[in-house]
Structure 1
Amino acid sequence: MIPNLLKTISVSLFFVLITGSIFAQSNYFKLSYGFGVGANRSYTDVVKGGTGYTAYGVFDVHVTPFVTAGLEAQYGMVQGGDIVTDPHNRQFINKYTAVSANVKFMLGEVLRYERSDFLYNIRGLYVGIGVGVINNKMDDIVRYKPSWAAYDPGFGPFPGKDKSLNLVTPVNLGFNYFINDGYGYMRYIINFNVQSNITYGEGLDGYDDPSRNFENYSPDIYNTYTIGFRYMFGNIKVYRKTL
């Protein structure tokens, strides 16, 4: 009788474990694409940065629901300086395009978010990093000081290129808010993102002045502050946790 009882308990435990494992899994779509817009801020060799705009498109592969690898393309305008107020009368407007590959890692991958509503709600918080190329094109730039400049009027030209290619490293901090479709699948994402783009070279502001004349020790950077939308699609994959 005891062996039969032990057998019954063992089968029951096995059934519970299997059932629990099944209910702890969820399905998700492996791909997504999206777009977004926002403002940017430049930090370059001119004394004061400026505010511009950025629009982007993305395509991601979801390694898991909370780990992605993908491509991002940007178009926008970065500007800085002011011909009147800048100490050297420098000013630039860069109509740029950029393409980068990146990875993002969300908190949901490591959090046991089923334990609280707060953890569940922040599971889409992420960090990311990538590498890419930025194509700089000066739409407007001051190469010669104006004749009315307070110091050294008519000086120039300021060295640099109106068109250039530079490597760029985008560093991301953001949040994905997931919305389910009518079948209960994660299908739509509203995205909020802050991205710091570190460029290598002197193309972002178009100025490449000798460091003996101008402070020129830090890489040129522009930060973007965007809101976007994503749509998940493609083949369905099983995930180990409930979504």
Structure 2
Amino acid sequence: MIKFNYRSALLVLILCSLADHLHAQQSYKNFSIGIGGGLVHSYTDRQKPDLNYLASGSLDYYFTPYLNAGLELQGGTMSGSSINADNGRTEGFNSEFATFQVRGKVHLGEFTGRPRRYRVFQDSFISRVAKGLYLGSGGGVLVIRSRENSEALYHNKELYLPAMAGIDVSMGDDSRILLNLNYQLNFVLGDKIDGLVSRGSKNDMFSSLTLGVAYTFGRLHYL
């Protein structure tokens, strides 16, 4: 007759439960580093802005899987043109720029509840994508200078306030890769992007639409 050992059975159940618990928890890493690229559009005193290109790099710290802050560098070109009302000539600006910004992002997942236990079949793909939607803001510095074929010669620095919206999508529960789609509108605290300051003109703005990929690293945290 086999003697049933309750203590051994209880220990096995506890270990199995703990292993399942650790496997099922949602985890995240503290840091991510990313690169990206996309389109940039300026809003200046020139009535016909061009669609230009930019590249970016970023470093982020995650307080939770859905709340992060970081640094971002961008570089690219801006250009545009307008008709001179006095002589009918087409005049324009052609410049290269670099930005440095500090920004924070809060995702929808921060408000929809972050369950301690996380299973793929309990959280649909659509739900996980929706949790990646975010809004963000911060502050930055724009450095811009004229290139060849620009009507004015200038090298200016401007502060700006970014407002962004987008989505971060994880490639999987165990993946360290994040995909990003971001739209950002930047409110410049000045009027010198195009090197032209007209009487009665308003401060300049510029916007960007970018695609990016990020790699997460650092200490592993469980929720």
TM > 0.5 fold call: yes
* Structure 1 residues 12-61: Cα deviation after superposition (integer angstroms, max 9, x where no partner): xxx9xx98987774221100000101111111111222111111000000
**How big is the shift at 1:120?**
2.3
1:98-154 deviations in Å (ceiling 9; x for gaps): 1000000111111248565432221111111010100011114224xxxxxxxxxxx
**CA apart distance, 1:192:** 0.7
How far off its partner does 1:163 sit?
A: 0.6
Q: Does 1:128 align with 2:136?
A: yes
Q: Rate the CA distance shift 1:110–1:96 in 2: closer, same or farther, 3 A.
A: same
User: CA contact under 8 A between 2:185 and 2:205: conserved in structure 1?
Assistant: yes
Alignment equivalent of 1:204, drawn from 193, 199, 206: 193
Structure 2 gaps of 5+ residues are: 1-13, 115-121
Partner of 1:100: 101
What SS class does the counterpart of residue 31 from structure 2 fall into? strand
What displacement does 1:186 show? Answer: 4.3
CA 1:41–1:79 in structure 2 vs 1: closer, same or farther (change >3 Å)? same
Residue of structure 2 aligned with 1:230, choices 205, 214, 222: 214
* Counterpart position of 2:63: 63
Confirm whether residue 177 of structure 1 aligns to residue 169 of structure 2.
Answer: yes
**2:97 partner amino acid:** Y
- Report if aligned partners of 2:109, 2:132 keep a CA contact under 8 Å in 1: yes
Other structure's SS at 2:126 match: helix
Distance, in Å, in 1 between the alignment partners of 2:161 and 2:78 is 16
Number of matched residues?
Answer: 198
Paired residues for 1:43-192 under 5 Å: 43-82=43-82, 89-112=90-113, 114=122, 117-139=125-147, 140-143=149-152, 162-180=154-172, 184-192=173-181
Q: Secondary structure at the match of 1:227?
A: strand
Q: 2 CA distance for matches of 1:237 and 1:87?
A: 63
| Alpha-carbon contact 2:47-2:82 (below 8 Å) kept | no
Change (3 A) 1:24 1:126: same
Q: Distance in 2 between matches of 1:54 and 1:22?
A: 42
Bigger Cα displacement from structure 2, 42-51 vs 87-96: 87-96
**Cα distance in structure 2, aligned partners of 1:47 and 1:87:** 14
TM-score, scaled relative to structure 1: 0.73
What is the TM-score with the length of structure 2 in the denominator? Answer: 0.79
Percent of matched pairs sharing the same residue: 28
SS in 2 for 1:210: coil
The alpha-carbon distance between structure 1 residues 89 and 162, as it changes in their structure 2 partners (threshold 3 A), is: same
Pairwise CA RMSD: 2.6
Shift in Å, 1:200: 1.1
Deviation at 1:83, TM superposition (A): 6.2
**Structure 2 counterpart of 1:164, one-letter code:** N
Indicate the SS of the match to 1:193: strand
